[in-house]
């Protein structure tokens, strides 16, 4: 079992930045592909970014490419999502997820463990 706890969300103006953290416990995240998803009110949960077990491969949704960066800290057993140039359409609850398989996947059903989410609100 892996327990995931997100933090770092909040209210920010358009153009601003936030860094989300996902602290893992129970098992080392080096055994998992890690991903970030988001869900806006009334919408489905959608893929944002993923990072390989080694940290050497990352993949992003087109909507965040060039603005968001996913990274992982093995010593701290933590995954981060640095979000720059935020837009109002980035407003959502952001979830961290862990996948036991080796491939980077974009479907939410491919991930085995989930955090409770952290709210990000971007004002215009």
Q: What is the DSSP letter of 5?
A: E
Question: What is the rounded distance in angstroms from the CA atom of residue 112 to the CA atom of residue 102?
Answer: 12
> 3: left (phi > 0), else alpha (psi -120 to 50), else beta?
beta
Alpha carbon 116 to its chain's center? 12
> 120: left (phi > 0), else alpha (psi -120 to 50), else beta?
beta
- What are the residue ranges in the chain where pLDDT is below 50? none
User: Tell me, what's the pLDDT at 69?
Assistant: 98
Q: How far apart are the first and last CA of the chain?
A: 40
User: Tell me, what's the pLDDT at 101?
Assistant: 87
Burial grade of 94 (CB within 10 A; 0-12, 13-18, 19 or more): buried
User: Tell me, what's the pLDDT at 13?
Assistant: 98
User: Tell me, what's the pLDDT at 120?
Assistant: 98
User: Tell me, what's the pLDDT at 74?
Assistant: 85
């Amino acid at each position: 079992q892996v327990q995931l706890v997100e933090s770092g969300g909040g209210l920010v103006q358009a153009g601003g930045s936030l860094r989300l953290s996902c602290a893992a416990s129970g098992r080392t995240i080096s055994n998992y592909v890690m991903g970030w998803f988001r869900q806006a009110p009334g919408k489905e949960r959608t893929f944002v970014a993923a990072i390989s077990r080694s940290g050497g491969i990352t993949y992003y949704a087109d909507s965040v490419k060039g603005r968001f960066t996913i990274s992982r800290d093995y010593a701290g057993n933590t995954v981060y999502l640095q979000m720059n140039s935020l837009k109002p359409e980035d407003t959502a609850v952001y979830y961290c997820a862990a996948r036991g398989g080796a491939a980077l996947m974009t479907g939410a059903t491919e991930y085995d463990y989930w955090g409770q989410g952290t709210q990000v609100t971007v004002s215009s």
